[in-house]
């Protein structure tokens, strides 16, 4: 108790904590010896004062050490994990996991569920009839060996200190801190046991990191933590001003991911998937162009095996919404702005996302774009199509889309999607 | 719960809370609807970002409103309260309460117990055989009318939010914040019901406020809060580099206070008592020189009635320690430094103070100075006399005094005791 006061006071006054202090305070918190009110005061002091690289490294190690680190050494191939900071329409993991597995790199992705306006990868996959996210460790390792790709829910023993801390940060307004965000993400990735990690940090109005400077700092911080833990880590910064692809919503996004895996799909989504897959293949020591594996069906074949291995039927029809409403383009011109946050919020209100952890999601709900950013639209063509289960939700979703786009006479140059690479 | 997150986030980001938000968060915390971990995160954000004058005023009002404000309107004389931020050897309240009461101003002082190296006024008075700190409201008001001076323990209904908050601040390292300190002190003084308040903020090595700038800011903040609440407030900043007077320890300080009340006592202690009493008389609308009431026995008479009214025997012998050890001056010269913090810590270790709220204090323990700061001493004369109940405590006290003073060939000019007046 008095040890905790000293730790909090040191951080409050801008001092540096020793490795022992960092390890002690996290362990004692998990054991219940440091009270939640003490940890939350420390967290706010960290939001204020930050963590030095040495403190952050010790903090992250202690989070990893609070649970078990997965042993993936028997996989028989290079093992590369992937994490995205979350964006609107971000179904990249669904594409790249089978894609790079088809090319020899194993992908062991432990994932969470979505909260708020960005969807969760597990929620998307659960729209496939029969598919289940919960695997035993033996099932997980078996599928990684046999299929080469697994996306499953993280077990309770993966950095449990992070789970406890995150719940506390959530109710004490101590989420927005780059070192705390970096250690939360990287402790789970390090505990996940991969040889290397590709991080995709989204930047822009629809992302957790609104500006490039913060996103770059987060990326550098995570890459440093990977290095400290002996996990090769590369981070791409990718744009999230407009939604990625044209489908936003769980089943809608799975269908679009399958389009990309079949060699088609929207150009922006393809571009990000190929950039991520290229980095993952390089990290796995098998550098090559992943494009052909989309065109020739190898990636799609791994996708089918991956879905099947987790109880899903890759050929089954995906759920569809009873109500569909079209918002037409009010004029002709070029679609020069389409606000990712507004579209994400609309999809959430339509039922695709959850406000609280306990909520369930509507697998069929969401938004489909009639045009991608930069394209020409004609007055009266479908611009946004809303999918939901009730009139109320349609109305809520529509309200969120008010003022979400601009159509201009003049085309505007498209900004690049992949902004920077760190690490 | 989500209201609390918004309040914390606003303060975290440097924004200003509305009156309603401030009132709500304090009320909801007292009701148990805002969790301790949320309040401690908010407190750390306040340590970081501060509180604007409007926020602080609302915060203090809400603390006052969490309990009952005393109604002293039936006292029949001007009512002036007094508060000291706490210093080593600070027995000023014991002198000024009866002194200004003898001159027509009523003093209703609700007090706490000491913690750490500065003693508590109630602990000092409790060294008088029979004296009791706990009075009912009726007894408190009756004594205020009949004697004109009461020093008693604060009831549970005096700004209970402050009590709850203070306990939380204590374990979460969120004590050092000028607005939080100011609101804690002033909420209790405002709830105490006096027309006016004289504050004595100690400045220096032995005080809570080590430097003049912080002390001045605290003083200005408290004077502003008094004004906002309609309570005339004046603050003296007084020096606490050396102990005040020559006695440090409960019964030892009572004896010294009685010396001053009898017209004698050390010059430094007399000077501060007269300065404080002069301000209290002015605040009560009865400006006059308090000196004669010490010389002619009127103050001592009120002291006796005050002690007697609370069950104490003003004529009884005070407890004395079984062990007394003298530290002699190692050389002749001028006592140019005597460290208040070291002497206070020595008295504490000798048994005069408590480390935890549950501890009891030794009424007889303490330190008596053989010379005041600036005086000439001769080699071998008693410089510090230690009073305690055991050899161990004497040894502990002696160790705390190592290096606590300097004796120099050259006299040094004495710094003033009363540094500034605010308000």
What are the φ and ψ backbone dihedral angles of B89, each rounded to 5 degrees? Answer: 80, 15
pLDDT score of B40: 97
Of A35, A41, A48, the CB nearest to B173: A41
Per residue in B383-407, pLDDT (tens digit) is 999 999 999 999 999 999 999 999 9
pLDDT in tens, B179-202: 999 999 999 999 999 999 999 999
CB pair distance less than 8 Å for A9 and B37: no
B71-82 confidence digits (pLDDT tens): 999 999 999 999
- Cβ of A41 and B44 within 8 Å? yes
Q: A237 CB contacts (<8 Å, ≥6 apart)?
A: A201, A203, A212, A215, A216, A219, A418, A419, A420, A421, A422
pLDDT at B415: 86
Q: What is the DSSP string of B72-96?
A: -GGGSS-BEEEEE---TT--HHHHH
Can you tell me whether residue A393 is helix, strand or coil? helix
Whole-number pLDDT of residue A116: 60
Other Cβ atoms less than 10 A from the Cβ of B120: the count is: 20
Chain A residues in contact with B1 (beta carbon < 8 A): 171
CB B43 to CB A41 under 8 A?
yes
Q: Which of A11, A77, A83, A334 is catalytic?
A: A83
Integer angstrom CA distances of residue B104 from B75, B76, B189: 11, 10, 20
Residues B107-115, mean pLDDT to the nearest whole number: 80
Point out the catalytic residue in the list B123, B162, B228, B396: B162
Catalytic residue among B82, B109, B188, B298: B188
Tell me where in chain B the CATH 3.40.1030.10 domain(s) lie. Answer: 73-309
List the catalytic residue out of A49, A82, A169, A349: A169
Q: Which residue has the tokens 């001493």?
A: B377
Please state, in angstroms and rounded to a whole number, the distance separating the CA atoms of residues B352 and A221: 51
Could you say which of B12, B38, B171 has the minimum Cβ distance to residue A35?
Answer: B171
B1 has pLDDT over 60:
no
Local structure of residue B106 (DSSP, 8 states)? B
- The verdict on a CB contact (< 8 Å) between B12 and A38 is no
Check whether B210 has a pLDDT greater than 90: no
User: Which CATH superfamily groups domain B323-408?
Assistant: Pyrimidine nucleoside phosphorylase-like, C-terminal domain (3.90.1170.30)
Rounded to two decimals, the ipTM of the complex is: 0.86
pLDDT at A363: 96
What is the rounded CA–CA span in Å between residue B71 and residue B90?
29
Of the candidates B342, B352, B329, which has an alpha carbon nearest to the alpha carbon of residue B408? B329
Residues 43-62 of A with CB under 8 A from B: 43-45, 47-48
CA of B45: which chain A residue's CA is closest?
A: A44
A83 is catalytic: yes
Nearest to A258 by CA among A94, A403, A416, A410: A94
Verify whether residue A169 is a known catalytic residue: yes
With contact defined as beta carbons under 8 Å apart, do A381 and A329 qualify?
Answer: yes
Q: What is the pLDDT of residue B120?
A: 87
The answer on pLDDT for A118 being more than 70 is no
Decide if A173 and B43 are in contact by the 8 Å CB cutoff. Answer: no
pLDDT of the residue at B119: 67
The 3-state DSSP composition of chain B as helix, strand, coil percent (nearest 5) reads: 45, 15, 35
Q: For residue A360, is pLDDT > 90?
A: no
What is the pLDDT at residue B356? Answer: 76
CA-to-CA distance for B409 and B287, rounded, in angstroms? 43
Mean pLDDT calculated for residue range A247-263? 98
Structure tokens at B275: 């300065």
By the 8 A CB rule, do A284 and A78 touch? yes
Q: Is the pLDDT of residue B237 over 80?
A: yes
Round to whole Å and give the CA distance between B162 and B66: 9
Does B171 touch chain A if contact means CB atoms closer than 8 Å?
yes
Kindly compute the dihedral angle of the four CA atoms of residues A375, A376, A379, A384, in this order, to the nearest 10 degrees: -10
Burial B146-182 (b: 16+ CB within 10 A, else e): ebbbbbbbbbeebbbbbbbbeebbebbbbbebbbbbb
Which residue's entry shows tokens 């000291």?
B84
* From A38, A47, A171, residue closest to B172, measured CB to CB: A38
CATH 1.20.970.10 positions along chain A are: 2-50
CA distance B294 to chain A (A): 45
Q: Tell me the helix, strand and coil percentages in chain A, rounded to 5.
A: 45, 15, 35
Three-state SS for B338?
A: strand
CB B129 within 8 A of CB B312: yes
User: Count of alpha carbons within 13 Å of B215, Cβ hemisphere only?
Assistant: 27
A197 to chain B, closest Cα gap in Å: 32
DSSP string, B179-197: HHHHHHHHHHHHHTT-SEE
pLDDT at A89: 95
For A286, residues 6+ apart whose C-beta sits below 8 A from its C-beta are A78, A103, A104, A105
**Inter-chain residue contact B45 with A44, CB threshold 8 Å:** yes
How far is it, in rounded angstroms, from Cα B35 to Cα B29?
7
Residue B374 falls in which region: left (phi positive, over 0), alpha (psi -120 to 50) or beta:
left
Q: Does B40 touch chain A (CB under 8 A)?
A: yes
Helices (H) and strands (E) in chain B, counts: 16, 13
Under 8 Å CB pairs connecting chains A and B tally to: 82
Work out the percent of chain A whose per-residue pLDDT is above 90. 88
- Chain B touched by A165 (CB under 8 Å): no
**A17 and B CB contact within 8 Å:** no
Q: What is the reported pLDDT for B171?
A: 93
Kindly state the average pLDDT of the residues A344-363: 89
Distance between CA atoms of residues A383 and A148, nearest Å: 39
- From-to residues of CATH 3.90.1170.30 in chain B: 323-408
Check CB contact under 8 Å for A35 and B38: no
d(CA B136, CA B152): 10
Q: What is the mean pLDDT of chain B?
A: 94
What mean pLDDT comes out for the span A76-90? 94
CATH for A73-309 (3.30.420.40, 3.40.50.300, 3.20.20.140, 3.40.1030.10): 3.40.1030.10
A40–B43 CB contact, under 8 Å:
no
Residue B359 has pLDDT above 90, yes or no: no
Q: Active-site residue B169, yes or no?
A: yes
Q: For residue B118, what pLDDT is reported? A: 65
A38 touches chain B (CB under 8 A): yes
Mutate to test the interface with A, among B8, B15, B173 (most CBs of A within 10 A): B173
- In sequence order, the 6+-apart residues with CB closer than 8 A to the CB of B423 are B219, B220, B223, B226, B233, B234, B235
User: Are A86 and A118 within 8 A, CB to CB?
Assistant: yes
DSSP string, A252-307: HHHHHHHHHHTT-S-HHHHHHHHHHHHHHHHHTT-----HHHHHTSHHHHHHHHHH
In tens, the pLDDT along B131-166 reads 999 999 999 999 999 999 999 998 778 899 998 999
- CATH of segment(s) A2-50: 1.20.970.10
Q: Which is catalytic among the residues A77, A188, A202, A349? A: A188
pLDDT tens-digit map of A298-326: 999 999 999 999 999 999 999 999 999 99
Report the helix count and the strand count for chain A, using DSSP H and E: 16, 13
Q: How confident is the model at residue A18 (pLDDT cuts 50, 70, 90)?
A: very high
Q: Which of B421, B55, B422 is nearest to B220 (CA)?
A: B422
Q: Which residues of A touch B39 (CB under 8 A)?
A: 37
End-to-end, the C-alpha distance of chain B in Å comes to 40
Percent share of chain A, pLDDT over 70 = 98
Closest CA to B244 of B352, B90, B124: B90
């Amino acid at each position: 108790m008095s040890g905790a006061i000293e730790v909090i006071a040191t951080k409050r006054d801008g001092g540096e904590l020793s490795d022992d202090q960092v390890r002690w305070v996290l362990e004692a918190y998990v054991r219940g010896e440091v009270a939640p009110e003490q940890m939350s005061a420390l967290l706010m002091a960290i939001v204020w004062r930050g963590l030095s690289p040495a403190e952050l490294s010790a903090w992250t190690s202690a989070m990893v050490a609070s649970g078990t680190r997965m042993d993936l050494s028997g996989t028989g191939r290079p093992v590369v994990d992937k994490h995205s900071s979350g964006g609107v329409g971000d179904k990249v993991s669904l594409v790249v996991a089978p894609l790079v597995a088809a090319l020899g790199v194993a992908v062991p992705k432990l994932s969470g569920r979505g909260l708020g306006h960005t969807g969760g990868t597990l929620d998307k996959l659960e729209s496939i009839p029969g598919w289940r996210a919960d695997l035993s460790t033996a099932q997980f390792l078996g599928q990684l060996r046999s299929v080469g790709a697994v996306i499953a829910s993280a077990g309770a023993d993966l950095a449990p200190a992070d789970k406890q801390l995150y719940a506390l940060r959530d109710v004490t307004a101590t989420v927005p801190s780059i070192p705390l965000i970096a250690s939360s993400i990287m402790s789970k990735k390090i505990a996940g046991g991969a040889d290397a990690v590709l991080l995709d940090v989204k930047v822009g109005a629809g992302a957790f990191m609104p500006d490039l400077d913060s996103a770059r700092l987060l990326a550098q911080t995570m890459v440093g933590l990977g290095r400290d833990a002996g996990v090769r880590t590369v981070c791409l910064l990718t744009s999230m001003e407009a939604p990625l692809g044209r489908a936003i919503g769980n089943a809608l996004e799975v269908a679009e991911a399958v389009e990309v895996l079949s060699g088609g799909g929207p150009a922006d989504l393809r571009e990000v998937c190929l950039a991520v897959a290229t980095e993952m293949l390089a990290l796995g020591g098998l550098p090559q162009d992943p494009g052909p594996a989309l065109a020739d069906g190898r990636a799609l074949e791994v996708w089918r095996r991956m879905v099947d291995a987790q109880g899903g039927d890759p050929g089954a029809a995906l759920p569809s919404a009873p109500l569909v409403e079209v918002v037409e383009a009010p004029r002709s011109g070029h679609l020069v702005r389409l606000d990712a946050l507004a579209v994400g919020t609309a999809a959430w209100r339509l039922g695709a996302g959850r406000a609280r952890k306990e909520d369930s999601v509507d697998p069929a709900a969401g938004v489909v774009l009639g045009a991608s950013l930069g394209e020409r639209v004609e007055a009266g063509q479908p611009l946004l199509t809303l999918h939901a289960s009730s009139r109320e939700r349609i109305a809520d979703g529509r309200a969120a889309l008010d003022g979400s786009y601009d159509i201009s006479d003049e085309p505007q140059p498209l900004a690049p999607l992949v902004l920077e690479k760190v690490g």
